[in-house]
Every structure is written in C-alpha cells, then in structure tokens.
Amino acid sequence: MKKVVITGMGVVTPVGSTLEKFWNALLNGQSGLNLATKVDRDKYPVKVVGEVKDYNPENFMSKKEVRRMDLFVQYAVGAAAMAIQDAKLDMKAVNADRVGCVIGSGIGGLNTLQEQHRILLEKGPDRVSPFFIPMMIADMASGMVSIINGAKGPNFACVSACASSAHALGESLKLIRYGEADVMISGGAEATICDMGMAGFCSARAMSMRFDPPSKSSCPFDKKRDGFVMGEGAGIIILESEEHALARGARIYAEFCGAGYSSDAYHMTAPAEGGEGAARAIRAALASAQLGPETVDYINAHGTSTELNDKNETAAIKTVFGQRAYDINISSTKSMVGHLLGASGSVELIASALSLQNGVVPPTINYEDPDPDCDLNYTPNTAVKRDIKVAISNSFGFGGHNACLVLRKT
C-alpha cells in the first residue's frame, strides 16, 4: 500500500483566492462574511453570506470557456490551476494516463439551472441553452479540470452534500494507495448563492438570521449560534504517491494517511443523536491511518454554527477521544469563510495541512458565550501555536453522510 502525500493546493474562498491570502486571513481571524450582493437580500430573512470577491475566471480560461461553465466549474478550474502551479507539476512531463481527477460538489450548477428555467418560462423550450445540461451537472468540475489539464486517469465526481469533497479526497487517496493512479487532482467546488439556493435554505430554516454585524453571523460552538452561513468557492489538492513526489523532487506539505466514512441512517437533515455516526467515521479514519486517538493534536471541525451539529460533533469527539478530547485543539474555519457546502471538506483539509506545516491552529472566531453542551477547546478567537503531528478534518452532510480525513506530519 503506497504512501500518499499532498504536494499542491489551490483555493477560491470568501477570505481570499490565493493560498497566502486564505492562510493569513485564517490566522488573523478575518471574516469573509458580509451582506449578500448576489441576491436581493430584502426578500429573505437571511442577509449574510460568504461571497467570493477577488476571483477572475479569465485569469485561467478564455471568455468563451467562461460562458460555457457554471460558476462552480469556473471556481474548480481556477483552484486546480493554482494547485498544479503550487505543486510545480508539469503535466507534459508526467504519464497522463496515471493522473486522475475526482472533484465533489453537493449541488452543482444551481445558477445555471435557475437562469435556464427562467428562459424556459419566458421564452420557451427552443431558447434553452444547448450547454444547459453539461453546465449544470455536478461531475462537470471534474470533467473540465481533466480536459483542460489533460488528466486521463480515473475521473468522476462525488456527491454527498456537505461531505462531497471529503469523499472525493478519500476516494482519491484509495486510488493512489492501491496503484490505480500516481497523481490525483481532487477536492470540491460549490456556487449556490442565488435565489434558488437562498430560498431553499431559508425555507429549511438552516441558516443564521443574525446580521449585525455580518462578521459575527457564524459562531460555531457558541451558545447564541442560530444556523450556518452559506459560502461559495473551491479547494483543490494535488495528491501523489510519495515515491512519485520524491522522484520529481516535489515539496511535500503533509502525508494524507487516512479516510473514514459512515452513515447515520437516521434523518434527512439532522445528525444522529450524540454524534454516533460521526464518531464511527472518526474511528474508521484513524483505523485507515493506523493511528490511535492519542496521536491527534488538532481537529478541523465540521463546526457549522447550527444547534444540532455543534453539540453532536462535540459529543462524537468526546466518544472517540475520551478525557483527552479536552487536550486537543479544535477549530471551525467556517466561522470565517462560512459553509462552502460541497467544497467545505477540501478547503478545510487545506487549512489543516497549512496548520500542520506551520505549527499554528487557526481560531474559531465569535466564540464569546460558552455553551455547556460544547465545552472543549475550540481555540477561541485567537490563533495558537502548537506542534501538530496529526490532524483530522470532519465533514458531515445532509442524508447522514459522514467523512473524516487524517493528515500526518512528514
């Protein structure tokens, strides 16, 4: 079984669309959340989202290509280009048949669906774009990244709501471990800040209605939390077998050593009581990594700022780690970037890799009013230096999908 390492990373997020901007924002506790501008917020009880503000798709593709891609695909293509550049991966120098691409998206091209439905109603079926279906379907991020970069290995998408990109990375880990690929371009992308996305999540009463100030709307593990804040963006990671990375002299961020999955088999949107399913995913991930609970120093929590997730995730952590749970640094970077839905797992694994490499735990901002049900060390409000040898990242999705990923310092 081959060792798998991270050699490149690229991000498009509400706090910045370069690794440097992203990491500096996290360390400084900088919020990327603000009043929505992509929808008429006066129509909704929810006012705050995490919009990407500094991304120009034409830096990565032609105007013609932009018109033929939904925004989530544009984000994925840009993040993949940055990750490939960060890894110094020359696609012409590697065996393209051994380079794969697995990118997850929880919802896919919702903006395209909304716009083409409007055209259907207003102008008739013959005016619907011939690119409607390929622009909308969730696998097109993986497809276009593969096409643009000439990656001819395994290529597919994972769709498991907010665990989509974590599952994509876990499947990519397996493909390299068992010799089916040398390199995987993997992660997730999402772009759902549009009327359909806002209306759907508002109707589900899943999002925070606090907005004064917007930067405090997401407050994971805090007693006053009242829902998640929807974000958008992408996180793409270059994974390689260790031997392939060393052979080309690549810089290695961390070893990607484990992935574990489970299902709550409980409820459409609510987590299982006591975080029972989440605990099984964490244990499965540690078993995959051949590591014990005593080795974990940092947990990048799913930490959505919803009442049920945060207390049940806390319970799951206590179940797996026992009394040692109080000695582990935990943080929710969603407090700053919002919930990137299907892209959250990959963006959070990037944050975890940077934490491990730099020996710094990013904070959970807006943690001001402790909740008795959430009594662990959530690294409140200020980044903390810590020698991190093992980090895990949790992702849980509607439908009871749970995934946990494990990184180890090299």
So which residues are the catalytic ones?
Answer: 162
| Assigned token pair, 192 | 């759902």
Residue spans of alpha helices (H) in 28-70: 63-67
Residues 53, 42 contacting (CB under 8 angstroms)? no
| Assigned token pair, 170 | 């876990």
Pairing relationship of beta strands 99-104 and 155-156 according to DSSP bridges:
parallel
Residue spans of alpha helices (H) in 290-383: 307-321, 334-337, 344-358
Rounded to an integer, what distance in angstroms lies between the CA atom of residue 83 and that of residue 91?
A: 12
Angle between the 307-321 and 276-289 helix axes, to the nearest 10 degrees? 50
Rounded to an integer, what distance in angstroms lies between the CA atom of residue 123 and that of residue 315?
A: 53
Rounded to an integer, what distance in angstroms lies between the CA atom of residue 10 and that of residue 18?
A: 7
Rounded to an integer, what distance in angstroms lies between the CA atom of residue 316 and that of residue 309?
A: 10
Vertex 348 angle, CA 343 and 354, to 5°: 135
Residues 273, 304 contacting (CB under 8 angstroms)? no
